Amino acid sequence: MSWHLYILSFVFIVAGIFHLIRPKAFMRIMPLYIPYHRFLVYTSGITEIVAGVGVLFVATRTISLWGMVIMLVLFFPVHIHMLINKKASLNFPKSILVFRLLLQFGIIYWVYQYI
């Protein structure tokens, strides 16, 4: 297994853990038109952890990678909301938020390389 997959796994597991230990920060960045913020934050955190672990095993790698791609695509509205809504921006500069949004495409490409 490529060391890149270990890094990818680690990134998703850590991101998922942060969803569980800092849910209010993640709820704050969600657009109001998306319902059930708390439920979705916890669900996405658990899903990120499961996908991160799943990447480590051949039997679950493909489904985990597709799950990651789907999650990353589903997170686009949150990134856009942070960019256009000052309260949701967490006081990050616009340049960082734009970079973060563009980085999402790079991460999707990175994940897709292993499918």
pLDDT per residue as tens, the chain (115 positions): 899 999 999 999 999 999 999 999 999 999 999 999 999 999 999 999 999 999 999 999 999 999 999 999 999 999 999 999 998 998 999 999 999 999 999 999 999 999 9
Q: Would you tell me the crossing angle of helices 3-21 and 94-112 to the nearest 10 degrees?
A: 130
Rounded-to-integer distance, Cα 25 and Cα 18, Å? 9
Burial of 26 (0-12, 13-18, 19+ CB in 10 A): buried
**Which whole-number Å values give the CA distances from 104 to 52, 59, 60, in the listed order?**
17, 26, 23
Please tell me what DSSP assigns to residue 39: H
Q: For residue 90, which of 15, 28, 13 has the smallest C-alpha distance? A: 28
- pTM to 2 decimal places: 0.93
Helix (H) or strand (E) holding 65: helix 58-74
Q: Which helix (H) or strand (E) holds 60?
A: helix 58-74
pLDDT at position 1: 83
